[in-house]
Amino acid sequence: MAAPQDKPRSFQEIILRLQNYWASKGCAVLQPYDMEVGAGTFHPATTLRALGSKSWAAAYVQPSRRPTDGRYGENPNRLQHYYQYQVLIKPSPPDLQALYLGSLEAIGIDMDLHDIRFVEDDWESPTLGAWGLGWEVWCDGMEVSQFTYFQQVGGHDCKPVSGELTYGLERLAMYVLGVDHVMDMPYNSPEAPIQLSYGDVFRQTEAEYSRHNFDAASTEMLFRHFEDAEAECEEILSHPAEDPKTGKTIIMAHPAYDQCIKASHLFNLLDARGVISVTERQAYIGRVRALAKKCADAFVQTEAGGWQA
Amino acid sequence: MPDLLIELFSEEIPARMQAKAAEDLKKRVTDGLVDAGLTYAHAGAYSTPRRLALQVEGLLAESPNTREERKGPKVGAPEKAIEGFLRSTGLTMDDLEIRDDKKGQVYFAVIEKTGRPAAEIVAHVLSDVIRNFPWPKSMRWGSGSLRWVRPLHSILCILSDEEGSQVVPMEIDGIAAGNTTEGHRFMSTGSIAVTGFDDYAAKLKRANVILDAEERAEAIWHDATNMAFAAGLEVVDDKGLLAEVAGLVEWPVVLMGEIAEDFLGLPPEVLQTSMKEHQKFFSVRDPKSGKIVRFITVANRETADNGATILAGNQKVLFARLSDAKFFWENDLRVAKSDLSRWTDKLSNVTFHNKLGSQKARIERIAALAVKLASVVGADADLVAKAAEVAKADLSSEMIYEFPELQGLMGRYYAEAAGLPREVAAACEEHYSPLGPSDDVPTAPVSVAVALADKLDTLTGFWAIDEKPTGSKDPFALRRAALGVIRLVLTNDLRLNLDHFFDAQLLRHEIEVTDSEETELLNEMLTEVAQHGVFGSAVRAIIERLDGDAPEWIAKLKDHEPDVAENLLSFFHDRLKVYLRDQGVRHDVIDACLAMPGSDDLTLLVKRATALSDFLKTDDGENLLQGFKRANNILSQAEEKDGVSYEFGADPKFAEDATEKALFEALETAKGAISSAIEAEDFAAAMGGMAALRGPIDAFFESVQVNTDNEIVRRNRLNMLHTIRETCSQVADLSRVEG
């Protein structure tokens, strides 16, 4: 049984423990992707690396943005910017459920006192042309993670299959730390000379971005940038595989995928601004999916994507 | 005779799939065994979140030897025929026997199969079943190619008899069958070796797994009701939830928790839906107040603190969920109390169907139609107009965004909060009804008018854009909508010509006006159409009055084709036939009534059909029908032969026979009685009047030859048969009745 002093005491401690745990299980601990994304899945370390035949094991924190979820920092649970912890292992190991439960223990959830459940939840990302089967994991009725076996990404069958774990860090941390309002959660150690709460770090930005996302973002510019990103993605992929300067085969899957990520985020902003109608919505999602598919097609022809000439 | 035990142990199987999967496993394995010659005495299937299990008792130890002889082609037949025969029998030329047959020498194949041991057959059948299992959705995992609902970890497969038990040797995608399983994920460790079903079930129970889903459900219900009873409360019955929860746990532990005071003011349906949908909680009610005051959750384990931590966690999650619900409820009430039109206006941005416009446009069409229906159902037109206007306002509310299944019900709460009359509030909830064939039919006039208008608008809309149901495809539930209209009309004894309302609403779908003057004109026209039909003189009169400066859409009115409305009416008639057949009315009886005018007045139609159906069940009815048919047949043949119709009325002075004279008199008397009964729509009395003709008709045919040589008498008698035909055809076209 876990002793009380084993409990983490701050948001960052939970992140540090997850990093240590997954590092100890052999994952490469990566850093967040340096672009605005809606979820940890968009990181190329997940989306692209889930494709092809090469083995892979990575864990990382990914700041994620969901403009429509902004509540000016006032809602106890909802944020337009939050953190996800993401683990992707390919091929999915047979003991992935046990490994996952170990990570919960690592962050201070006592398996002898809590009720952990795997409840059916199939995952689908229409923007990435991806789907998988799995569960949402419940701890005493609270959803603490998504657990998915990827079946398809960018329209390609995943062979081998990757196992993906996604933890919503704020929610999980609030649960473990026993905090009711996200802004009240200790960010650093409660004994630090300068104690900072989650609110000290993020209340200001939540309010600013909420106003920006809902009312101020220039829709004309966003529409234009969406078109640009879409065109640029296709332009990058239209180059011949052989680089005329070096004479090497260099397919630019990642730079093209950056543009796909951009288009996706721009779409999310436009959606938050309420300027996309129900029928247009499907069309925009379809356009981003088309880009994701082309990037996936390109990636599986690279060496990292397992291509063998 | 050995027993077979199979367990397929995997990661968590979705609760909704478990029961069917266990049955599929049983059916497919036992079918496979029987096909291979292995019969058995009894089979039972079980499921938990992590396993499917199958027990087969009294299996044959090996399949019997079989010998089959098959006759093939003649000796010297074309090579292809012989090759085909060899292929189908799996033999070579040397294996074939040549025998003498009536027509010469013929090849014979003798196929002998020696019995195979059960283990070999089981291994083969089970591999096949696992590889082709009918999961609604399946997946791959790791580097393998096998598909299962979630990763399959182990296969237990043993045959046991008095001598002991043996593992059936088999392997699928690297998983070799064995004799071990695992217990509860958290309350048991290590693997468990078993020797047979009883041993398996007992050891699992010791390892905190109840194998039988039924037993888990009973345990949950037993503990839940006891716990509630001890607190003076009762659990709200929910069989679906119980089955689902039993599929989420291997070792159910029932815990009861409090709902914070703050939330007890929420409508009970909101509490119940929120707890069930998000948390799979049962609601616990105070029988005195009817309010939901506590919840029951089912954990998958026992803990040292008797579930205190688990309950506290669940309570906290519920608090957050209900805070959301309360936030929605309070925001919604604020809007409802200030101005419901904020919600209805928002619906102009919500598409109902891309060819049928927005929800707002739909509401306006429904309101226009509902007002026309008000007088038919005896409702106050102003109340109907208001009710139609706000009936779908709740679709914009935050609560319905979160819980779509509460539509209508929340509408009622919000209309009440807005201070609207109770008839209007009731219509918000009731206008969706009846949803299914057993759903209650609204009877409050305002609700009935809006409910009818809602369904008729949907039906005419999809007919206007030609999106009718075909075969098993009915994505917009149009059959249900039509049955809803039928039940609304019949239950409330409503008299209306559906045809006119179809035409009016079809035109409303086709014609778009924005100008307010034109809108008024359109309304005037469509009111006429609804009352008197599209070809009514009033409509023509208005068109003539406008002559010259009529708006363009008038052309649509002028050229309106009745086909679409007719097609819709026949769709209604088909639904009505199904509905009446379920009530014991024969299809030919309905056809006989459908042939009469006014078949778009469903109440009248059903009155006829019921009277005729009842009448035909009596001896009088059956005999009259025979008499009628005889008269009708003779008459029809004569009409065809002579090329004339005998409709000039018979003259009693040409009557020769006494029975003929008696029939004349009977017809005279009956006519009067029948026509006054028909006038009063008393079809039973009308049929009674016809029944009085039975004796005279029978006697007439007994003693009289219709087709005599005397042309005058013959013609007179045919004219009389015509009178019989007419008299007896006033309720229904009896010539369409079978028998």
A119 CB neighbours in chain B (<8 A) are 12, 15, 248
Tell me the one-letter amino acid at B152. L
Strand-pairing partners, residue A135, are A120, A147
Closest to B91 (Cα-Cα) out of B74, B106, B112 = B112
Which region among A33-37, B553-557, B617-621 has the lowest average model confidence (pLDDT)? B553-557
Residue B468 neighbours by CB under 8 Å, 6+ apart: B462, B478, B567, B571
Distance in angstroms (rounded) separating the CA atoms of residues A76 and A181: 4
How many residues in total does chain A contain? Answer: 309
Tell me the one-letter amino acid at B365. R
Cβ-defined contact of B310 to A115 (cutoff 8 Å): yes
Which one of B137, B299, B316 has the shortest CB-CB distance to A133?
A: B137
Distance from CA of A204 to the nearest CA of B (A): 23
Task: Return the structure tokens found at B354.
Answer: 């891309």
Strand-pairing partners, residue B148, are B139
Interstrand relation of A56-65 and A28-29 (parallel, antiparallel or unpaired):
parallel
- Structure confidence at residue A1 (pLDDT): 41
- Structure confidence at residue A4 (pLDDT): 44
A117 CB neighbours in chain B (<8 A) are 248, 300
Q: What is the pLDDT of residues B474-497, one digit of tens each?
A: 888 899 999 999 999 999 999 998
Q: Which helix (H) or strand (E) holds B337?
A: helix B308-338
Distance in angstroms (rounded) separating the CA atoms of residues B685 and B673: 8
Task: Return the structure tokens found at B13.
Answer: 């199987």
Residue of A nearest to B358 (CA): A278
CA distances B156 to B176, B182, B407, Å, are 9, 10, 48
Q: What is the pLDDT of residues A42-55, one digit of tens each?
A: 999 999 999 999 99
Angular region, B212: left φ>0, alpha ψ -120 to 50, beta rest: beta
- List domains and CATH numbers for chain A: 4-211 (3.30.930.10), 217-299 (1.20.58.180)
Instruction: Give the mean pLDDT of chain A.
Output: 93
- Interface probe, candidates B13, B50, B135, B140, chain A, greatest A C-beta count within 10 A: B140
Cβ-defined contact of A140 to B153 (cutoff 8 Å): no
Chain B residues touching chain A at CB-CB below 8 Å: 11-12, 14-16, 49, 137, 139-143, 149-151, 153, 186, 248, 279, 297, 299-301, 303-305, 309-310, 312-314, 316-318, 320, 323, 349-351, 354
Distance in angstroms (rounded) separating the CA atoms of residues B449 and B378: 9
Tell me the one-letter amino acid at B169. P
Residue of B nearest to A76 (CA): B320
- Structure confidence at residue B350 (pLDDT): 77
Tell me the one-letter amino acid at B485. V
- Structure confidence at residue B351 (pLDDT): 76
Task: Return the structure tokens found at A268.
Answer: 């999310």
Asked if B735 and B630 count as a contact pair (C-beta separation under 8 A), the reply is: no
CA distances B444 to A218, B384, B425, B481, B492, Å, are 52, 11, 11, 19, 9
Angular region, B513: left φ>0, alpha ψ -120 to 50, beta rest: beta
Q: What is the pLDDT of residues B416-444, one digit of tens each?
A: 999 999 999 999 999 999 988 888 999 99
- Residue B20 has φ and ψ, to the nearest 5°, of -65, -40
Q: Place B536 in a pLDDT band, splitting at 50, 70 and 90.
A: low
Highest mean pLDDT among B214-218, B622-626, B659-663: B214-218
- Interface probe, candidates A115, A147, A177, chain B, greatest B C-beta count within 10 A: A115
Residue A123 neighbours by CB under 8 Å, 6+ apart: A131, A132, A133, A134, A146, A148
Helical packing angle, B239-246 and B15-35, nearest 10°:
70
- Structure confidence at residue B404 (pLDDT): 86
Distance in angstroms (rounded) separating the CA atoms of residues B735 and B634: 13
- Structure confidence at residue B548 (pLDDT): 66
Helix/strand/coil (H/E/C) assignment for every residue in chain A:
CCCHHHCCCCHHHHHHHHHHHHHHCCCEECCCCCCCCCCHHHCHHHHCCCCCCCCEEEEEEEEEECHHHCCCCCCCCCCCEEEEEEEEEECCCCCHHHHHHHHHHHCCCCCCCCCEEEEECCEEECCCCEEEEEEEEEECCEEEEEEEEEEEECCEECCCCCEEEEEEHHHHHHHHHCCCCHHHCECCCCCCCCCCEHHHHHHHHHHHHHHHHHHHCCHHHHHHHHHHHHHHHHHHHHCCCECCCCCCECCCHHHHHHHHHHHHHHHHHHHHCCCCCHHHHHHHHHHHHHHHHHHHHHHCCCCCCCCCC
Cβ-defined contact of A175 to B354 (cutoff 8 Å): no
Cβ-defined contact of A115 to B248 (cutoff 8 Å): no
CA distances B243 to B188, B236, B311, B320, Å, are 24, 14, 21, 26
- DSSP 3-state helix, strand, coil percentages of chain B (rounded to 5)? 55, 15, 30
Distance in angstroms (rounded) separating the CA atoms of residues B301 and A265: 43
Cβ-defined contact of B137 to A142 (cutoff 8 Å): no
- Is pLDDT at A3 greater than 50 in this prediction? no
Distance in angstroms (rounded) separating the CA atoms of residues B266 and B410: 11
Cβ-defined contact of A115 to B139 (cutoff 8 Å): no
Helical packing angle, A253-272 and A219-238, nearest 10°:
160
CA distances B596 to A273, B357, B585, B673, B721, Å, are 60, 38, 17, 20, 20
- Structure confidence at residue B6 (pLDDT): 98
Tokens 């909830």 sit at which residue?
Answer: B429
Strand residues in B490-618 grouped as ranges (E): none
- Is pLDDT at A5 greater than 60 in this prediction? no
Q: Place B562 in a pLDDT band, splitting at 50, 70 and 90.
A: confident
Q: What is the pLDDT of residues A101-123, one digit of tens each?
A: 999 999 999 999 999 999 999 89
Mean pLDDT, residues B298-320 taken together: 93
Alpha helices in B164-285 (DSSP H): 197-206, 213-230, 239-246, 268-279
CA distances A50 to A26, A103, A272, B306, Å, are 17, 22, 29, 43
Distance in angstroms (rounded) separating the CA atoms of residues B714 and B476: 59
Q: Place A279 in a pLDDT band, splitting at 50, 70 and 90.
A: low
Asked if A77 and A69 count as a contact pair (C-beta separation under 8 A), the reply is: no
Mean pLDDT, residues B584-599 taken together: 89
Asked if B153 and B9 count as a contact pair (C-beta separation under 8 A), the reply is: yes
- Is pLDDT at A252 greater than 50 in this prediction? yes
Distance in angstroms (rounded) separating the CA atoms of residues B211 and B190: 18
- List domains and CATH numbers for chain B: 3-62+117-206 (3.30.70), 67-113 (no CATH), 213-336 (no CATH), 353-389+416-567 (no CATH), 619-736 (1.10.730)
Q: Place B280 in a pLDDT band, splitting at 50, 70 and 90.
A: very high
Distance from CA of B308 to the nearest CA of A (A): 8
What 3-state class would DSSP assign to B353? Answer: strand
Mean pLDDT, residues B601-629 taken together: 89
Residue of B nearest to A143 (CA): B317
- Structure confidence at residue A262 (pLDDT): 97
Asked if B390 and B430 count as a contact pair (C-beta separation under 8 A), the reply is: no
How many residues in total does chain B contain? Answer: 739
Q: What is the pLDDT of residues B104-139, one digit of tens each?
A: 888 888 888 889 999 999 999 999 999 999 999 999
Which region among A90-94, B298-302, B317-321, B542-546 has the lowest average model confidence (pLDDT)? B542-546
- Structure confidence at residue B544 (pLDDT): 75
% of chain A exceeding 70 in pLDDT:
97
Higher pLDDT among residues B707 and B540, named by residue: B707
Cβ-defined contact of A141 to B314 (cutoff 8 Å): yes
b/e map of A160-199 (b: 16 or more CB within 10 Å)? bbbbbbbbbbbbbbbbbbebeebbebbbbeeeeeeeebbb
- Residue A118 has φ and ψ, to the nearest 5°, of -110, 105
Alpha helices in B46-136 (DSSP H): 79-89, 118-131
B16 CB neighbours in chain A (<8 A) are 120
Q: Which helix (H) or strand (E) holds B297?
A: strand B292-299
A115 CB neighbours in chain B (<8 A) are 299-301, 303, 310, 313
Which region among A70-84, B80-94, B422-436 has the lowest average model confidence (pLDDT)? B80-94
Which region among A26-30, B346-350, B596-600 has the lowest average model confidence (pLDDT)? B346-350
Closest to B589 (Cα-Cα) out of B611, B567, B557 = B611
Q: What is the pLDDT of residues A253-271, one digit of tens each?
A: 999 999 999 999 999 999 8
Q: Is the peptide bond before A240 cis (omega within 30 degrees of 0)?
A: no
Helical packing angle, B308-338 and B409-417, nearest 10°:
50
Residue A206 neighbours by CB under 8 Å, 6+ apart: A70, A71, A72, A73, A79, A80, A81
- Structure confidence at residue B91 (pLDDT): 84
Angle ∠(A99,A100,A102) on CA atoms, nearest 5: 65
